[in-house]
Amino acid sequence: MDKTFAPVLGMPLVVHTIDQFESSSLVHQIVLVVAKDSVGRARELIQHRAYSKVTNVCVGGRRRQDSVRSGLEALSSCEWVMVHDGARPCLEKPYCNED
């Protein structure tokens, strides 16, 4: 099983991460990079949760830097980028809020 979708507190792990960014006024778009065999599951999750900031779901690469590149190429124009591992949902608020 892809650890990104492992259940934590009744929801897939990645939901806890996306929720943090989705609720941030500083975040305008989210690109979710997942394993090839998880793309369908990720798209279903995005639709089911009605995330408005997730603009793309794309396939990651063999190495982390390949996955980051894939995500960057899927972004619309932007001034700042934050790269975050969705399988690690513990995110401190200052990283995605103005407070």
pLDDT in tens, 17-67: 899 889 888 899 999 999 999 999 999 999 999 999 999 999 999 999 999
Residue of higher predicted confidence among 73 and 3: 73
Assess if residue 83 is contained within a domain. Answer: no
The one-character DSSP state at 63 is: S
Joined together, the tokens standing for residue 36 give 């090839």
- Please state the pTM of the whole predicted model: 0.85
Assess if residue 86 is contained within a domain. Answer: no
State whether residue 79 is helix, strand or coil: coil
Assess if residue 36 is contained within a domain. Answer: yes
Q: How far apart are CA 62 and CA 65, in angstroms?
A: 8
Q: Which amino acid, residue 79?
A: E
- If one counts the domains in the chain, the total is 1
State whether residue 58 is helix, strand or coil: strand
The answer to whether the CB of 20 falls within 8 A of the CB of 96 is yes
Determine the structural domain holding residue 39 and report its residue range: 3-78
